[in-house]
Structure 1
Amino acid sequence: MLFKKLPLLLLVSFGAASPWHLREAEVSALFARQDETDPPSCSTSCDIDTCGGGTCSVAGLSLNSRSVDDLGVLLESLAFINVTRAYGNGKELHVDSRELSKRIWRFDPASNTPVGDTEPTTAEVDTYVPAVFNGREDTYFGSPLFLSAGDERAYSQQVEFGNRPFQIMTGGIHGCMTVMLVSNRAVWAAHFWESYSHGKPNLDTPATEPAFVDRVLKFIKGEEVKNAAPSTYKPYITPTGPAPNPDWFNGDNDETQLFISTPIADGQKLENPNAKLKYPTRVTAMESEFRRRIGKKPKAVRIPYMRLDYSKPAEKALENRSNRGMHLFQYDPDSDGKGKRSWRIFMEARYTVKNLS
């Protein structure tokens, strides 16, 4: 895995309650850099009720950028696009099976030049990811599978790699955690709201705090919450989406990786390689729970980020218009036009690509 630091160019959403199992190298990475200090109290947590929270509440789905009449209908439909078989509430559904033309990995939706395993520049990420958000890759990948239901429940998508391309996306993240568990056979992705998961005032310890266990750890392990523990924030909401299917991530040749995008601590600078995370103890607990769930230790990759401060007009302007707060997973069974199966992840300006064949 190759890691690379580039200067940031200021341009510019998972549980066992609803078992969706969707059927359907080389690794490089970028790190964004920031010079701003941590945001003021207005944006020190990501929740529906705080400034900026309305965007994060629907995983960055801005209605003025993706025109729909009914957000609920859209979010339901996004769960069943670009797959061979889909399961919702235990029932098999008929889904789109249209033929798709070949294409290639690219960093510009208007380009037909293959990029292969090359790394994008930060400027390319700043333009490509918002373009995907605005539907510029929908013709091939289909509309992104989002990771939120319009409230603060844990929300997941799980897709097995096959002969259908697809993409999973979040946006407007400014304190929440986005998690992607990826093997050579499948991906499980989830979004965890900050205040809903940790409770006010958003403390890191202890990781055994009952509400955090109910809202995050039990979701990962696929355990039903029967008597939810009280929280200092809001009542428990039953999650949407499945827990990770161990059979898709614990094979000897799966090379499973766990990516956790999580905010840095208040007062920390992202360009500092020793910057502290805001929730290191709880991230460690999540990593341990994934290991227990799949029965094998995945390669854990922590991806720190500096939250957007929506109280600052300059940062608010970056929302869904740069890599800031954006997370994108894409799977392509024909990434080079010659049958190469690959997946790639954009977590803000950090990029990872892996070839499966």
Structure 2
Amino acid sequence: MFFSRVILTSLVLFGCLAHARYLVERDSVADGRIEAKFRSKIVAFLQRKVNALVSTKDNPNTNLINLAYSIAEDNDYTFAVLRSFSDFNANILNIGTERLEGCTVLTVVSRKAVYMAHFFENLAFAPDDGKAPDSAFEQNCINQITGRGQTWRTRGDSIDPSLFTGNNGPAFAYIMTPRQEQADPTRQNPNPPVPGPDTQLYAERMRQLSQTLTSLIPGLWVVYYNYIAANAAQYEEQDAQQHRGKALFEYDPNADGNNNANFRIWYEQNMENGQGAGLFA
């Protein structure tokens, strides 16, 4: 696996429940564990896969699901999908999105199913809509996941805990969320440091999200990947870093050519898989 992990035992940093196990991603690029010769292959693979994704508005039965859901230009909706692997015995399932500019992506996976959601920053975390309710985070994120209470600007599925517990467990939740923002340069500090991989822009919201998930799915492993958010202009300028802002999940029922299933999940150029997580042999 490309990831290294650090298990956090502090109940203060993320407000963890005592029985939950929380892990934080380290930046594998920074410590040099992905060699340069593999980066171009990873970038090309991710770009090809993401380009093939389509909206369920256009094809409700697609196995190539784009999580970027908009009714019209600049009219975005949080979007979530729940898929059972038993429905994909003959087809590869891909779910993902790209060019994240501060949004959060959640992927919950077990041996039986995957739940993947894209929460827009300007809806759930920092609403810029004058009509946003005071409880925008709860209505746009938490209630969408649980299927309880009123929702606002959401589409798609809620989670079914039975697919991730009991004989279907254990389960992992992989959360891709922005790091703290870099300070503006000043005369005294013209080159402020880039926030480290353990920092989170919305740490309190991540604590609330994690508690919601672990209450629904006891024993859930929660894995964070804290990314450096870029804006649209920066994406245009960074052709050499086309992995940035991409999130992709892939389930293959014949991953090894011998009818053995596996999944892979990429957050940017960092990858986890079902065998590494102990979910598939």
TM-score (normalised: structure 1): 0.56
Structure 2 distance, partners of 1:319, 1:157, is 30
CA contact (8 A) 2:2 2:271 kept: no
Structure 2 distance, partners of 1:257, 1:287, is 11
Structure 2 distance, partners of 1:299, 1:134, is 30
Among 307, 311, 324, which residue is 2:229 paired with? 307
Structure 1 distance, partners of 2:197, 2:240, is 26
Structure 2: where are the runs of 5+ without partners?
6-24, 31-36, 54-61, 184-192
Structure 1 residues 309 and 210, CA, compared in 2 at 3 Å: closer, same or farther? Answer: closer
Residue 254 of structure 2 aligns to a residue whose secondary structure is coil
Could you report, residue by residue, the CA deviation over 1:155-176 in whole angstroms, capped at 9, with x for unpaired residues? Answer: 1111111213211010111100
Structure 2 distance, partners of 1:145, 1:201, is 27
Q: Which residue of 2 aligns with 1:216?
A: 141
Q: Which residue of 2 aligns with 1:256?
A: 171
Could you report, residue by residue, the CA deviation over 1:204-232 in whole angstroms, capped at 9, with x for unpaired residues? Answer: xxxxx62211111111111141xx7xxxx
Structure 1 distance, partners of 2:125, 2:27, is 26
Q: Which residue of 1 aligns with 2:15?
A: none
TM-score (normalised: structure 2): 0.71
Q: Which residue of 2 aligns with 1:31?
A: 27
Q: Which residue of 2 aligns with 1:124?
A: 41
- The answer as to 2:58 corresponding to 1:134 is no
- The answer as to 2:3 corresponding to 1:3 is yes
- The answer as to 2:205 corresponding to 1:277 is no
Among 226, 240, 253, which residue is 1:333 paired with? 253
Residue 31 of structure 1 aligns to a residue whose secondary structure is coil
Give 1:319 shift: 7.2
Give 1:133 shift: 2.1
Give 1:134 shift: 2.9
Structure 1 residues 270 and 323, CA, compared in 2 at 3 Å: closer, same or farther? Answer: farther
Q: Which residue of 1 aligns with 2:270?
A: 350
- 1:213 aligned partner, one-letter code: E
Q: Which residue of 1 aligns with 2:219?
A: 297
Structure 2 distance, partners of 1:350, 1:124, is 13
CA contact (8 A) 2:84 2:114 kept: yes
After superposition, residues 176-255 of structure 1 pair within 5 angstroms as 176-200=103-127, 210-225=135-150, 236-237=152-153, 239-252=154-167, 254-255=169-170
Q: Which residue of 1 aligns with 2:16?
A: none
> RMSD over aligned Cα, in angstroms?
2.9
Structure 1 residues 327 and 284, CA, compared in 2 at 3 Å: closer, same or farther? Answer: same
Structure 1 residues 273 and 307, CA, compared in 2 at 3 Å: closer, same or farther? Answer: closer
Residue 77 of structure 2 aligns to a residue whose secondary structure is coil
Structure 2 distance, partners of 1:299, 1:210, is 27
Compare relative contact order (CA 8 Å, sep 6+) and give the higher one, 1 or 2.
1
CA contact (8 A) 2:181 2:195 kept: no
CA contact (8 A) 2:123 2:136 kept: no
Could you report, residue by residue, the CA deviation over 1:28-81 in whole angstroms, capped at 9, with x for unpaired residues? Answer: x883547xxxxxxxxxxxxxxxxxxxxxxxxxxxxxxxxxxxxxxxxxxxxxxx
CA contact (8 A) 2:112 2:168 kept: no
Structure 1: where are the runs of 5+ without partners?
6-28, 35-119, 137-141, 203-208, 229-235
Query: Which has a greater percent of strand?
Result: 2
Q: Percent identity?
A: 21
- The answer as to 2:77 corresponding to 1:153 is yes
Residue 323 of structure 1 aligns to a residue whose secondary structure is coil
